[in-house]
Every structure is written in structure tokens, then in C-alpha cells.
Amino acid sequence: MPLYEYHCSECGQSFEKMMRFSELDLAPECPHCHSRETHKQISTFASRITGGGAAATASSASSCSSGSSRFR
């Protein structure tokens, strides 16, 4: 089961909770104040995009006009 981070807007605490896929639409109960005013946090590793490599800089000017095999 994936672990999700939730933030309680009632007491301002954050907590982690294992959620089943069938329970993802439900707001879990806050373990601190037992409120249902909880919101799922966006996972932090998804917002970091590593990359930006300049690999697609192939400046190949394709000007070789093949096809004139027999010419006069």
C-alpha cells in the first residue's frame, strides 16, 4: 500500500497514512485531533524533475538530395 502524507487543516498537523486505493477518495481521520478536515499532500519527489540534458542538438543539415542516380 502506498504511503500518503496528509495535512490537517483543523490542527495544522501533518501525518502519514497508508491508504488503500478504495480509500483514496475518503479523507482520513487526523490522529491528533480526530478531525476529518484533512487534505492529501502532493508528493514532493514528483515536482522535482531532474534532467535538462542537451542531447538533442544534432544540427544535421540534411541537404543530400539522393535520387539522381542516373543523370545525363
* Chain positions contacting Zn ion, by CB under 5 A: 8, 10-11, 30, 32-33, 35
Q: Using the minimum distance from each CB to Zn ion, give the nearer residue, 23 or 54.
A: 23
Comparing CB distances to Zn ion, the nearer of 27 and 50 is 27
CA pair distance 41, 62, nearest whole angstrom: 49
Reading across the β-sheet that carries 3-8, which strands appear in turn? 14-18, 3-8, 38-40
Rounded to a whole number of angstroms, the minimum distance from the CB of residue 32 to Zn ion is 4
What cell was used for 68?
A: 539522381
CB of 2 to Zn ion, least distance (A): 21
Shortest spacing between CB 49 and Zn ion, in angstroms: 32
Cell of 51: 534532467
